Amino acid sequence: MNSLKSLSHGKVWLVILALLAALQPSFCAAEVVAVSDQFAITSISVRGTNLVLSAYVPPGMDLVALQERSALDAPWEETAQWSVPENGGEMTFAFPQRADVARFFRLRARPVLPASPLVSAEVAFVTTASLCTRMSNGNAVFHFKGRVDGSDKIFITREGATWEHVNWGYPPEPVSINDTQWNPAEKSYLTTIGPVKFLPESFSLDSVDLEVIEGRDVVALERTNDGLMVYLDDTPGGPGQYDFKINFHPAVPKPTRARPSAVARLKIAAQVDGSDCIKITPQEAVLEHKTFALPSNLSVNGIPWDAGQQSVLKNEGATAFLPDGVDFSTARIVSRKGRDLATAWGEPDALWVRFADNPNGSDWYEIEIAFGPE
């Protein structure tokens, strides 16, 4: 176990236990409800003039009510109800969008049989201007400023951005996106109001560049089928300050390469305790170690790599791990394993693979990437 990671975050558990002990009497006096991991809001989006929530509702529920509040310290108000199918399952709830700057939502489900109601974790909804109102060199800009303490993910689509917390503490105060204050909850959604999308079609979700102004650990991007994932991993103790810009380039047709990419697979595996970046080029793999212990039992396509002895693994001779002619921009993640971050970003001539392990101790990580036509 990494003692520094254990010490810095162990204090948090002592504070939480003390707070729980102090608050126990008030819990007993409140209404008894059960917060279920199976009952959850899974997404939030804007469709026309409606706000749309998707949720999983477990079997045995009779009625689902939408509850809203305008601030974290405001009382919950019930604003809508829906009947639940007999077997529950995925449900979608649509209701008119209002012009509030911020709102918080949760769902409350009433069981068919006499039992305590279920309450979902809450999600936050925040409005801002379209990214195209913040331009730089012809690019639409997503500018993040704030402190991060642990692992978080931001999923950006044309409709908005969803925040999901993964490990350790939430940001200790609101972060800002293009000067809009955003106070992430367990899931938090940032979007626009009006006819202009969060990211208009005239800008690419695929062709972007990341500009890190400040940040002591990992800021990583990953392309997905319908959006862009942003990973924030701050493995050192306590929160760290982060300031970065994602520049969305104008949408243009992709240039056709003279030769299609060679078909290949790349599998990287290691015991990770901290954060690391491996840059892959046609000539070599280069390890940039960031925090805590060096990766151990590291291998690239089954070739052992002693990171303590050498930071470079040549793609030649006995250590050749990829064939010639690989277009790294065709990279797609086939599988991955690990309790925190394993991701990759490809451009035509290079691939960046990043690992980050925020919880105490270390864990085994694997990522497999395919290149060439699907």
User: Tokens in use for 279?
Assistant: 């840059």
Highest mean pLDDT among 17-31, 76-90, 95-109, 247-261: 76-90
Is the pLDDT reported for residue 183 higher than 90?
no
**In a shared domain, residues 193 and 156:** yes
Domain count, the chain: 3
Q: Answer whether residue 17 is part of any domain.
A: no
The residue out of 250, 282, 302 marking a domain boundary is: 250
Stretch among 152-161, 176-185, 359-368 having the lowest mean pLDDT: 176-185
User: Tokens in use for 119?
Assistant: 């309450």
Nearest 10 degrees: CA dihedral of 93, 95, 100, 103?
A: -20
pLDDT of residue 185: 64
**In a shared domain, residues 96 and 157:** no
Q: Is the model's pTM score more than 0.85?
A: no
Highest mean pLDDT among 11-20, 70-79, 191-200, 350-359: 350-359
Listed in sequence order, the DSSP H helices in 322-371 are none
User: What φ, ψ does residue 307 adopt, rounded to 5°?
Assistant: -65, -25
Average pLDDT, the chain: 87
Mean pLDDT confidence for 128-144: 95
Q: Answer whether residue 18 is part of any domain.
A: no
**In a shared domain, residues 103 and 154:** no
Structural domain that includes position 50? 32-123
Q: Answer whether residue 74 is part of any domain.
A: yes
The residue out of 217, 250, 283 marking a domain boundary is: 250
- Placement of tokens 């002591």 in the chain: 216
**In a shared domain, residues 96 and 151:** no
Q: What is the largest CA-CA distance in the chain?
A: 71
Q: Which CATH number is 45's domain given? A: 2.60.40.10
Higher pLDDT, 224 or 48: 224
Nearest 10 degrees: CA dihedral of 310, 314, 316, 318?
A: 20
Is the pLDDT reported for residue 168 higher than 70?
yes
**In a shared domain, residues 132 and 198:** yes
Kind of pairing between the strands at 50-57 and 61-69: unpaired
Q: Answer whether residue 365 is part of any domain.
A: yes
Whether 361 contacts 4, CB under 8 Å: no
